[in-house]
Amino acid sequence: MKDPLSCHTREASNILGKDFLARLIELNSAKRKNPNGPDLKHLNEDVINAQGIVFFLAGYETTSNTLSTTCYHLAKHQQIQVKKKKIKWHELLEY
């Protein structure tokens, strides 16, 4: 079974998006159409894969730092944590 989010599957199915992977697919298509294009000389599938990995890891790192910093500050300032819990429970009960 093919991965529906892979570059090859999305490109073959003409699944267009406005995400990072769609932009990489566009670059790869432009490279195939004009392999000697001025801005695409060093672009190959390995570079595209590497950029995808870097993008994923950078997003993961940013998210983990944000969550850990938030948890730290909520632990240090428990009065804010209690206040936020009350607000959330109130919103849930209204729903």
Instruction: Give residue-wise pLDDT tens across range 45-84.
Output: 788 778 888 888 888 888 889 999 988 998 998 888 888 7
pLDDT exceeds cutoff 50 at 1: no
Question: Does residue 30 carry a pLDDT above 50?
Answer: yes
CA distance 66 to 52: 21
* CA 95/CA 76 separation, integer angstroms: 30
Domain residue limits, the chain? 7-94
Helix axes 45-76, 78-94, angle to 10 degrees: 100
pLDDT at 63: 87
What's the CA angle centered on 49, arms 41 and 26, to 5 degrees?
60
Backbone CA torsion sign across 10, 11, 16, 17: positive
Stronger pLDDT, 4 or 65, i.e. the higher one: 65
Give me the sign of the Cα torsion angle 68, 74, 75, 77: positive
* pTM recorded for the entire structure: 0.47
pLDDT of 6: 65
Indicate if the pLDDT at residue 19 is higher than 50.
yes
Q: CA angle, corner 42, sides to 39 and 47, nearest 5?
A: 115
